[in-house]
Amino acid sequence: MVFLGTVTEALATTDRRVTRARMRIDHAFKGVSEKSLVLFDDGMCDGPNLEVGEQYLMYTRRLGNGDVPSRGCTRSRHVKYAKDDLAYLGGLSEAVPVGTVLGKVVIRTDDYYGDDRPVSGAMVELTGPTRTHTTVTDVEGRFQFANVEPATYTVTADHPGTRMLSFAFDGAVPSTAVEARGCAVVDMVMRKTWRGAVEGRVIRSNGAPGPSGMDLKLIRMENRDGKERSNVLFSRGGRTNDQGEYSFDEVAPGRYKIVMNLYRFPSPQAPYPTLYWPSARTESDALLIEVVDSHTEQRFDFRLPPEPESTIVNGIVLTADGSPVPEAQVFIEALPDNSIAGNDENRPRTDAAGHFSFTALTGFEYRLRATIDGNRRLHSPDVNFSLKTELRFITILVDRPGRFDNDPVERMQKRLAK
């Protein structure tokens, strides 16, 4: 939504700042047909401070609930700072219906803590349904494609000794949609093509190859402010093949540790706790791996502990008056790692009679809790359980109203963010 508007009424204020306002639409450029809109200001990100009687050029969008934010890291601004924007917007109706793609290419001097520096002379390709455009970045790493036909394009950059990083989980190259008389910004990050490699094999306790699909990660060890700190490199994760082999390629110089099954809930398919090479149970006991800036391949094998026995454990979720709770969500954490069950088998829902079941493994402690969908203020206290006890039936009482973090996955993400 792009429009010129005047604030006619302050509907809410906080600390003398207008947080909700009615704005008259003086001129609509795109995406708005109303004569007025109500905008909210949550104070997040950049944006103008709205004042009654003042005129603003707004770049915004409707949120899923229909609310329209006045902020959002856009070019929204008071009209006295919008001269160039208004001149551009005013000429769009007579402009040729083509678009522009522009951006910047930088190289990350260190994979994780270094600076991003402009890449001069990088070859940039813009590939569309009918043709491919090419250009070279300037001394500031910037590039631009003008007079581009409206379409969806992929954008790639190439520079000797580097490769482009993809921040998409599926590894896809960046793409952008170019609209008529519009522009799109695509910034790209390169990294040096490192020559270090770490590889190895996961071996079962009987000497057979480990299971395929086992999750391994590199942990980067940093000495910052005189303290040893670790950084889990989620982008450097690997999985074992059908021979139990794993590998990490293009590893930057540094000090590392390898960990297997980190934050993974123990299941019958992978019934193991978090395990560091070489068979250490904690990060502090794991050995350091030194990777230097040369073509070095280092090999480290994991030997798995014996697979524990598993047992189906049943339970029931009840309200305070003893009534069964159907369709309650049961959250299960494995201690002491606090790994969280994330699939249907180990993150069950109760049936019509309030019953549930899950697979428990010998040697693990579990923490269970339940919550009622549709009434998330009702939840249960934590229930601890292990196969050390003779108890094979768990009763969970949903009897405590109050604020509840409904999803332990979100709780784990918050913990990792710290």
> Got the DSSP string for 184-198?
EE--EEEEE---EEE
pLDDT for position 119: 95
Contact by Cβ (8 Å): 266, 166:
no
pLDDT for position 181: 85
pLDDT for position 169: 54
Helix (H) or strand (E) segment spanning residue 84: helix 83-90
Q: CA-CA-CA-CA torsion for 151, 154, 155, 159, nearest 10 degrees?
A: -150
pLDDT for position 412: 45
What's 196-303's CATH class? mainly beta
CATH topology of 99-192 equal to that of 196-303? yes
The tens-digit pLDDT sequence of the chain (418 residues) is 999 999 999 999 988 899 999 999 999 998 999 999 999 998 888 889 999 999 999 999 999 888 899 998 899 999 999 999 999 898 888 888 999 999 999 998 776 666 789 999 999 999 999 999 999 999 999 999 999 999 999 999 999 989 888 766 556 788 899 988 888 999 999 988 888 889 999 999 999 999 898 889 988 887 767 777 777 765 566 889 999 999 998 888 888 999 998 888 888 878 888 889 888 888 889 888 888 876 678 899 999 999 898 889 999 999 888 899 998 889 899 888 888 776 555 578 899 999 999 889 998 999 998 888 654 556 788 899 998 877 778 999 987 544 334 444 444 444 444 4
Contact by Cβ (8 Å): 334, 366:
yes
CA 228 to chain centre: 25
Global pTM reads: 0.61
pLDDT for position 345: 52
CA distance 342 to 252: 32
Contact by Cβ (8 Å): 148, 99:
yes
Which SS3 state, helix, strand or coil, does residue 284 take?
helix
pLDDT for position 405: 43
Question: Which two three-digit tokens encode residue 122?
Answer: 């990088």
pLDDT for position 95: 85
What's 2-92's CATH class? mainly beta
Select 99-192's CATH number: 1.10.10.10, 3.40.50.300, 3.30.413.10, 2.60.40.10: 2.60.40.10
Q: What is the CATH number of domain 310-415?
A: 2.60.40.1120
Nearest to 283, CA basis, from 359, 199, 221: 221
Nearest to 228, CA basis, from 255, 202, 247: 255
Cβ partners under 8 Å of residue 176, min gap 6: 101, 152, 153, 155, 184, 186
Cβ partners under 8 Å of residue 406, min gap 6: 329, 371, 376, 379
Domain positions in the chain are 2-92, 99-192, 196-303, 310-415
